[in-house]
Amino acid sequence: MSYAAEISRSNPTCILIVVDQSGSMTDALGAGEAQLRKADFLADVVNRTLQDLVLRCAKAEEIRNYFHVGLIGYGNSVGSAFSGALAGRGIVPISEVGEQPARLENRSRKVPDGAGGLVDQVVRFPIWVEPTSNGGTPMCSALKDGRDLLSDWLKDHPSCFPPIVLHITDGESTDGDPRASGAALHELRSSDGNVLLYNCHLSSQRANVVEYPTSPEALPNDFARTLFDMSSVLPVEFRKAAAELGRSLGEGARGFVFNADAVSLVQFFDIGTRPSNLR
């Protein structure tokens, strides 16, 4: 289980993002961020992550298909979370993602003014997924859909760097114990290793954040331990990515964050999408 396969146009990997879109995602993200809804912030981070993947694959005026990307949302229903021209699609080459955002939104950012100061600059920000929050939390169905998508994708990419699943939720499953669904997903493999499943729980209250633990001992309840059990151990390539972000993670650290705040969520995506062997 080396997790060392080169990521290239002829041998891409897949990143599957599975997002909780249940009714509780209207709640605020943490007690100190009362005006920030979890659904809004999560959609923003997912869109920024997709933009980052597009930019990383942009070479010589083209977007090279080092990555294929899938988006699953679950709440009132389970299915593709892409909007716009990609609505209803499963796993999509990153070039199509880059070429077909649902819309472009004006955003303001600070840039140097050339005289030592900063000025506001309006930029066009691509949107692929919209904030959504309704219904229950059918986590098992969403993970099963993810397994079906990746099972088909792996038939065409048997030697790839193993697919990475980033699952973000704010509550317990309402359609059964998700551990079996998570295990079935993790059991899928390429010749380079098993599918990697990373889980991030979003907090609605001020509480201790538990990040990338090696054991469940510090976790506060059975739900947290369930997510821990479902989470893959981080291969060395991802621990290197964490180190570049100032996080020293030991062998055995799992791709799991409990009670994540805004900073932890952003870092979860940064670490989870940065295997370093991209060519």
- For the chain, the domains span 13-272
pLDDT at 88: 97
Structure-token match 């659904």, residue found: 39
CATH architecture of the domain with residue range 13-272? 3-Layer(aba) Sandwich (3.40)
Residue 189's DSSP bridge partners are 194
User: For residues 73 and 51, is the Cβ–Cβ distance under 8 A?
Assistant: no
Confidence check: pLDDT of 1 > 90: no
Residue type, 147: R
Q: Tell me how far apart the alpha carbons of residues 172 and 217 are, in angstroms, rounded to a whole number.
A: 20
Residue 72's DSSP bridge partners are 18, 80
Q: What is the mean pLDDT of residues 108-120?
A: 69
Q: Tell me how far apart the alpha carbons of residues 269 and 250 are, in angstroms, rounded to a whole number.
A: 19
Confidence check: pLDDT of 10 > 60: yes
What does each C-alpha distance from 73 to 20, 166, 196 come to in angstroms? 6, 12, 19
Q: Tell me how far apart the alpha carbons of residues 230 and 221 are, in angstroms, rounded to a whole number.
A: 15
Give the range with max mean pLDDT: 91-100, 244-253, 265-274.
Answer: 91-100
Confidence check: pLDDT of 200 > 70: yes
Question: Quick one: pLDDT band at residue 36, thresholds 50, 70, 90?
Answer: confident
Q: Tell me how far apart the alpha carbons of residues 171 and 181 are, in angstroms, rounded to a whole number.
A: 16
pLDDT at 61: 82
Please give the structure tokens belonging to residue 119. Answer: 């000025």
Residue type, 207: A
Stated pTM of the model? 0.92
How confident is the prediction for the chain on average, in pLDDT? 91
User: For residues 69 and 88, is the Cβ–Cβ distance under 8 A?
Assistant: no
pLDDT at 173: 95
